[in-house]
């Protein structure tokens, strides 16, 4: 992926979410007994025994505020897993949550959905191709990658 990286939830936002999530609820840490939760702070699956939390997150909200735009009804919020304590973030060569079908949702600089693409091939190269196709459209400012099964936000990729 040329100059494009999967972006985890930023450290400052994580700090806020660990106090109160985007729905205003306090974080409730739990010990993950089984492992496998998709962690949005470090873009990997949890390991058994890690302290994690499920929080409500509005992935477009802070980007839109920084960009000076109103995302309107696209300011949705949903559940995401994070470490309950600060973590080291993703590995430099992370290929987050490979091996499953994904949607790549495209957004304009105004915070509006411009469409999306289903990525049915679970290899990373298929996601890279979807990013290249999305950013070939000059109107696309960023994309959100989501799980097909639940529609959950996984991570963001921005125009380079």
The string of pLDDT tens digits covering residues 61-74 is 989 999 999 999 99
pTM of the model: 0.89
Contacts 24+ apart (CB under 8 A), 66-74: 67/109, 67/111, 67/141, 69/109, 69/110, 69/111, 70/111, 71/111, 71/112, 72/111, 72/112, 74/107, 74/111, 74/112, 74/113
Which tens digits make up the pLDDT trace of 32-90? Answer: 999 999 999 999 999 999 999 999 999 999 899 999 999 999 999 999 999 999 999 99
CA distance 134 to 113: 12
Residue at token pair 């492992």: 35
């Amino acid at each position: 992926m040329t100059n494009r990286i999967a972006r985890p939830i930023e450290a400052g936002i994580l700090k806020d979410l660990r106090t109160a999530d985007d729905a205003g609820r306090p974080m409730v840490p739990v010990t993950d007994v089984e492992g496998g939760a998709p962690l949005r702070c470090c873009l990997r699956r949890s390991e058994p025994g890690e302290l994690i939390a499920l929080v409500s997150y509005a992935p477009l909200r802070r980007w839109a505020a920084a960009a000076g735009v109103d995302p309107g009804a696209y300011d949705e919020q949903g559940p995401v897993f994070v470490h309950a304590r600060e973590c080291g973030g993703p590995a430099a060569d992370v290929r987050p949550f490979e091996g499953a079908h994904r949607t790549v949702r495209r957004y304009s600089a105004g915070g509006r959905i411009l469409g999306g693409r289903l990525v049915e091939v679970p290899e990373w190269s298929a996601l890279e191709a979807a990013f290249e196709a999305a950013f070939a459209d000059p109107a696309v400012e960023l994309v959100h990658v989501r799980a097909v099964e639940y529609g959950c936000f996984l991570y963001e990729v921005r125009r380079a």
